[in-house]
Structures are given as C-alpha cells and as structure tokens.
C-alpha cells in the first residue's frame, strides 16, 4: 500500500528525516508516534506530495509518487495538523469545493456530503459558517472533507490535538469506523493512549530516525506487563515485571513507596530513547 | 483540467459573494474621491483633446482599477496561504499548477470586471456616458489578465503577507499614477514617455480611453498586453512549484 524507501528530508539546518523505511499494509491502521519535531508532519507532507524529499522513493498503491503525483493524490485523503478550512464559507460549501477539486459530479457530491455529515454528526450544521463551529466540530469536518473523494489511504496528522477527552474518544470511534470500511489509515500522534487504542502497528520516530515498527502489544511486552514507578532524585524511574505477583513481591520486600500500573507504550518509547514522547 | 480550474475559481467566487456587501463600497470609495477631487473640483475648466477632464479621467480610473483589483487576488491568495493554510488543501488535490493559476487569474479578472461596472455607474451619476464597446471590454480583460497573472506569481514568491503589502506599494501604486491614468502623457518629456510605454498599464489606459471615446485603439497595445500577460502567466505556473516547500 504505502512503501517508503530510504527517505531523507533536509531543511536548511535540520535533517528532518534520516533514511526512513516504511511499509504500511492495506487496511492497516498505522500510527506514527514521536515527540515534537520528530518529523511526523514532514513524513505526511512528503507522502501526500506537499513537500519534495531530498532523496528516497515513495510509492502509493503501486504509483510512484514522483511520476504520477496527480494520480496518487486521488488515492489520498489528508487531515493536516493545523485547521485549513475556509472559515468564511459554510460547511456545505467547504465540502463542495473539495468534491470539485477531486472531480466529483454534482449528484455524487451531494450524496456523499449528506452521508459524511451524518457520519461525523454534523448534519444539523450544514449551512453554518465554519468560523461558527467549535474546535471539535472543525476537526470532524476536516475528517469528513478528507473522505469526500473516497480515498484508499487516509492521512491523519494529530487529529485530536487540543480536544477534550470526550471529543477525543468520539474521534477515535470515528477513526475505527473508517478503518472498518476498508480504508488504510496513517496516523501521527504524540498521545500514547491514542496509538495504543487505535493502532495495529506503531512506529517510533525520534529526531528524524525511525527506531522500531511493531504492534503495540509486542512493543510493550518486551519490557514486561506491569510497572512500578518509584521516585529517584525527583525523577520517576519505572521497574518492569512480567506479572502482578512479581511486582507485589518487590513492593513487599522494599521500603520505598511505589505506584503500580500496567506497562504502556510510553515505557517502550522511554526505554528506547531515554526520553518521553510528551 | 477544466474541472479543477473551475473548483479554484468557484471557491474564490463563493468567498467574493460573501463579502460583496463590503467589497462594493470599497470599490466605490476611492474612484468616487478621485472623481470628486480631480474630476469635479479641479478639472472643471480643463479640456483634453476635446473631452472634459471628467471624460478623460474615468477611463483612466477604469484602467487603474482593473489593475489594482485584479492584482488584489494576490492578497486573497496570501491570506488563504499564510493564515488559513488553504493552499495545502488545493495542493493535496489532483489540481495541476496550470489549473490553479488559471482559476485564480480568472477570479482576478472577474473582480476587475465587477469593479469596472461600479465605476461606470459612478460615471453615470456624474453625467458621463462612455462607449462600452467590445474593444473597451477586451482592453480591460487583457489588462486584468496581465495583473492577475503577475499577482499569482508574486503571491507564490513572497514569504509573508507583509511582503505582499510592500510589493503592492512599490509595484502597483507607482504604475497607477504614471501610466497615463490621470494626465495625458504628452505632458511628459520624450524620454519619460518612452519609459512609461514599457509599462503595460500605459497601453491599457490608452486602449481603454480610446475605445471608450468610440475610436479604434492601436492594435499594438492589445498585443503588448496579451503577450505580457502570457509571459506572466507561465512564470506564475512555474512559481507554484517554488511555493510548495
Ligand atoms: N518548512 C520548514 N522549514 C524548516 N524546517 C522545518 C520546516 N518544517 C519542519 N521543519 C523542521 O523539521 C523538523 C520536523 O518537523 P515536523 O513538523 O515534521 O515535526 P512533527 O513530528 O510533526 O512535530 P509536532 O509534533 O510538533 O507536530 C523540526 O525540527 C522542524 O523544525
Ligand atoms: Mg506535526
């Protein structure tokens, strides 16, 4: 589906991506996890043809991005990190323009608009101007817009950033639903729970280097299943255990105070990079 | 290609329609002030080649206005690009650079035509009727083609909206005053005349004025505008690629 080979991107002074290799399978929900400035958005911008890489190749559904960028754009839906809707136009008009840009006929467009607005729960706001919508509504509208032309891959760049927990869960459910309809999803996030909850496979990215690609459970269980946090010099230092009993035994035999919790992706990231995702 | 060209154009038209109640007054204010200050108050006793100064001034204003209004598309593009990031939405769609430029240029031309109509109506209120024949409109079309194409290209090259404002005051404002819009070029020394004939606006003002008096303007003016416009247009298409990174 998406094949990335030895991708490099260099901005004036920043080596934003270093020899990145990826292979995203069809129908998969692939999460790209990394701290600020890791190169997540840069990767998405290259995959969607918005930015040219310095070297390396990308193919989407068998189309080489270099030679057939117009054809491959038809396959992609993009929800960028910053909101890029036409604020002075209505919800309906924003979707219509997108449909026109992707060469959809009028009947097809209107049918899809109705279906998608239902889908993201915005039917009642069809005629509202975008600037009158809340942040969460705008995010959902961006997702609906990206789905207008029925792309086979959907790129979501931090789709829940700045939203409250309730809205975040709503959007997660929506993303799951989109995947179930057969769309391949490439998602970037720096929310651990988001990757854990949604992803079939997770890639860790740190300052332009791809560290590892695996399923969330594989990544976590290499460390253990339970963790004890203890405070050492004002820093939380986790110790990992394979079972709850082992952890409890450790607590019983040591004097310090601990917090017991399950191992999460943050631990996996921390153990690989020595730093936290957030 | 036509599809995506239309999409780009349609978007600009929807935005313009939303703002029309603010745009029409803004299109009328400065021409109205020029007409009152120069045409009515100062130019009462001035006569140029058998025409009242008012009659001389209005075609000049139309030339100037079709230039500034078609060039104004650059601000729209930049606001969409730097503040709203809409440019990315269009770039991620299967829209060729050519269609994008063509759609924006067409929007600029439409804007120029609408603002021309506003000036013609103002002219009527001052009792001036011009001959709005095919050659008159063709000159306006070519003039706005030149400046809308220039606008799209420059909009792609600037790095911020502030640069854009700077460009307008250095490129457009001098042309507005020097290109034979407000006074006959015969008042210039010969070297000065030769210089201003490099500017496309001079040809536009001449053709629009001559056509609106019912004369046949020199075909060379139309050719100059047409070829300048084509050159700007194709440079703009190349500039879109530059804007992507
Ligand atoms: N247009 C640009 N010009 C110069 N440097 C850039 C540009 N875009 C990104 N960078 C740099 O490339 C690196 C990766 O940026 P990128 O936006 O891909 O990070 P990210 O992982 O998406 O981060 P965030 O979580 O903050 O969105 C950063 O060091 C950034 O400063
Ligand atoms: Mg980012």
- Could you write out the DSSP letters of every residue in A88-130? TSBHHHHHHHHHHHTT--HHHHHHHHHHHHHHTT-GGGTTSBG
Strand order in the sheet with A259-262: A235-241, A226-232, A259-262
Give CA–CA dist A55/A162, Å, rounded: 34
CA distance A53 to chain B (A): 10
Give the 3-state secondary structure of residue A188: strand
Report the interhelical angle of B134-157 vs B53-71 (nearest 10°): 40
Please give the torsion angle defined by the CA atoms of residues A89, A120, A28 and A270, in that order, rounded to the nearest 10 degrees.
Answer: 90
| B62 closest CA partner among B19, B14, B107, B119 | B119
| Distance between Cα A45 and ligand 2 center (Å) | 10
A156 touches ligand 1 (CB under 6 Å): no
pLDDT for the residue numbered A26: 94
Q: Are A152 and A61 in contact (CB under 8 A)?
A: yes
- Spell out the residues 6+ positions from residue A226 whose beta carbon is closer than 8 angstroms to its own: A240, A241, A242, A243, A244, A246, A247, A260, A261, A262, A263
Phi, psi of A200 (to 5 degrees): -75, -45
A141 touches ligand 1 (CB under 6 Å): no
pLDDT for the residue numbered A199: 94
Give the 3-state secondary structure of residue A133: coil
Which of A97, A129, A154 to substitute to test the interface with B, most B CBs within 10 Å?
Answer: A97
* A49 in reach of chain B (CB within 8 A): yes
Interface size, chain A vs chain B, as Cβ–Cβ contacts under 8 Å: 72
Give CA–CA dist B217/B223, Å, rounded: 11
Which protein residue's CA is at the shortest distance from atom 30 of ligand 1? Answer: A37
pLDDT for the residue numbered A138: 94
pLDDT for the residue numbered A67: 74
Give CA–CA dist A171/A184, Å, rounded: 16
A36 touches ligand 1 (CB under 6 Å): yes
Ligand 1 binding pocket mutation candidate from A13, A14, A207, A275 (most atoms within 8 A of CB):
A14
B4 and A71 within 8 Å at the Cβ level: the answer is no
A257 touches ligand 1 (CB under 6 Å): no
* A156: enclosing H helix or E strand: strand A153-157
Q: Are A156 and A186 in contact (CB under 8 A)?
A: yes
Q: Are A185 and A29 in contact (CB under 8 A)?
A: yes
Q: Provide the 8-state DSSP code for A157.
A: E
pLDDT for the residue numbered A150: 92
A81 touches ligand 1 (CB under 6 Å): yes
* A89 in reach of chain B (CB within 8 A): yes
Report the interhelical angle of A91-101 vs B2-34 (nearest 10°): 130
CA distance A70 to chain B (A): 5
C-alpha separations of A20 from A80, A162, A199 in Å: 21, 28, 19
pLDDT, tens digit, for every residue of B2-34? 889 999 999 999 999 999 999 999 999 989 998
pLDDT for the residue numbered A278: 66
Q: Please give the angle made by the CA atoms of A87, A89 and A92, to the nearest 5 degrees.
A: 120
B96 and A88 within 8 Å at the Cβ level: the answer is no
Q: Are B26 and B75 in contact (CB under 8 A)?
A: no
pLDDT for the residue numbered B67: 96
* pLDDT per 10-residue tile (average), chain A, 278 residues: 93 92 95 92 93 91 80 90 94 97 95 93 95 93 94 94 86 92 93 90 93 90 86 81 88 85 86 75
pLDDT for the residue numbered B129: 85
B89 and A52 within 8 Å at the Cβ level: the answer is no
Q: Which two tokens stand for residue A129?
A: 């101007």
Q: Which two tokens stand for residue B159?
A: 């790095």
Is residue B18 packed enough to be buried (19+ CB in 10 Å), middle (13-18) or exposed (0-12)?
A: middle
Q: List, for chain B, all residue ranges whose pLDDT scores fall below the cut of 50.
A: none
Give CA–CA dist B234/B149, Å, rounded: 8
| Distance between Cα A69 and ligand 2 center (Å) | 22
Give the 3-state secondary structure of residue B44: helix
Give CA–CA dist B109/A84, Å, rounded: 26
Give CA–CA dist B53/B39, Å, rounded: 6
C-alpha separations of A178 from A50, A193, B211 in Å: 24, 19, 60
pTM metric for this prediction: 0.90
Give CA–CA dist B123/B212, Å, rounded: 12
B95 and A101 within 8 Å at the Cβ level: the answer is yes
Which protein residue's CA is at the shortest distance from atom 25 of ligand 1? Answer: A36
Q: Provide the 8-state DSSP code for A48.
A: T
pLDDT for the residue numbered B241: 84
Strand order in the sheet with A184-189: A76-79, A153-157, A184-189, A29-33, A201-206, A209-214
Phi, psi of A257 (to 5 degrees): -100, 140
* B242 in reach of chain A (CB within 8 A): no
Q: Are A210 and A22 in contact (CB under 8 A)?
A: yes
| Distance between Cα A251 and ligand 1 center (Å) | 43
Phi, psi of A262 (to 5 degrees): -80, 150
Q: Are A96 and A109 in contact (CB under 8 A)?
A: yes
A61 touches ligand 1 (CB under 6 Å): no
Q: Which two tokens stand for residue B177?
A: 């005053």
**ipTM of this predicted complex?**
0.89
């Amino acid at each position: 589906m998406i094949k990335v080979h030895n991708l490099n991107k260099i901005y004036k002074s920043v080596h934003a991506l270093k020899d990145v290799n990826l292979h995203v399978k069809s129908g998969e929900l692939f999460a790209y996890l990394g701290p600020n400035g890791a190169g997540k958005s840069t990767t998405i911008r290259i995959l969607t043809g918005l930015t040219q890489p310095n070297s390396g190749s990308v193919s989407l559904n068998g189309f080489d991005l270099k030679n057939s960028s117009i054809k491959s754009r038809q396959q992609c839906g993009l929800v960028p990190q910053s909101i890029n809707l036409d604020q002075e136009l209505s919800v309906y008009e924003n979707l219509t323009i997108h449909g026109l840009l992707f060469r959809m006929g009028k009947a097809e467009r209107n049918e899809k608009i109705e279906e998608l607005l239902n889908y993201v729960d915005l039917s009642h706001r069809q005629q509202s101007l975008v600037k009158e919508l809340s942040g969460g509504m705008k995010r959902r509208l961006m997702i609906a817009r990206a789905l207008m032309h029925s792309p086979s891959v959907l790129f979501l760049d931090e789709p829940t950033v700045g939203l409250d927990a309730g809205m975040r869960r709503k959007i997660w459910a929506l993303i799951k639903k989109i995947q179930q309809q057969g769309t391949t999803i490439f998602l970037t996030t720096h929310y651990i729970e988001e990757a854990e909850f949604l992803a079939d496979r997770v890639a860790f990215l740190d300052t332009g280097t791809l560290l590892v690609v695996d399923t969330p459970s594989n990544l976590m269980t290499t460390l253990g299943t339970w963790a004890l946090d203890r405070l050492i010099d004002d820093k939380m230092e986790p110790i990992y255990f394979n079972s709850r009993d082992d952890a409890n035994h450790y607590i019983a035999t040591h004097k310090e105070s601990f917090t017991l919790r399950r191992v999460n992706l943050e631990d996996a990231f921390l153990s690989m990079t020595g730093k936290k995702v957030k | 290609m036509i599809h995506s060209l239309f999409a780009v154009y349609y978007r600009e038209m929807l935005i313009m329609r939303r703002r029309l109640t603010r745009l029409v007054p803004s299109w009328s204010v400065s021409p109205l002030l020029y007409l009152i200050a120069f045409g009515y108050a100062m130019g009462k006793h001035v006569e140029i080649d058998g025409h009242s100064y008012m009659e001389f001034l209005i075609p000049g204003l139309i030339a100037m206005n079709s230039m500034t209004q078609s060039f104004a598309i650059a601000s729209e593009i930049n606001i969409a690009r730097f503040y709203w990031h809409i440019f990315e939405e269009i770039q991620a769609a299967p829209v060729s650079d050519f269609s994008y430029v063509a759609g924006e240029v067409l929007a600029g031309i439409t804007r120029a035509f609408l603002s021309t109509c506003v000036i013609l109506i103002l002219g009527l209120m001052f009792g001036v009727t011009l001959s709005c024949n095919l050659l008159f409109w063709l000159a306006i079309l070519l003039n706005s083609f030149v400046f809308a194409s220039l606008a799209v290209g420059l909009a792609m090259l600037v790095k911020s909206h502030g640069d854009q404002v700077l460009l307008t005051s250095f490129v457009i404002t001098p042309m507005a005053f020097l290109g034979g819009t407000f006074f006959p070029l015969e008042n210039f020394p010969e070297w000065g005349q030769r210089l201003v004939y490099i500017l496309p606006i001079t040809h536009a003002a001449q053709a629009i004025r001559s056509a609106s008096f019912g004369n046949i303007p020199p075909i060379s003016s139309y050719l100059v505008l047409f070829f300048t416009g084509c050159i700007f247009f194709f440079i703009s298409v190349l500039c879109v690629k530059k804007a992507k990174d």
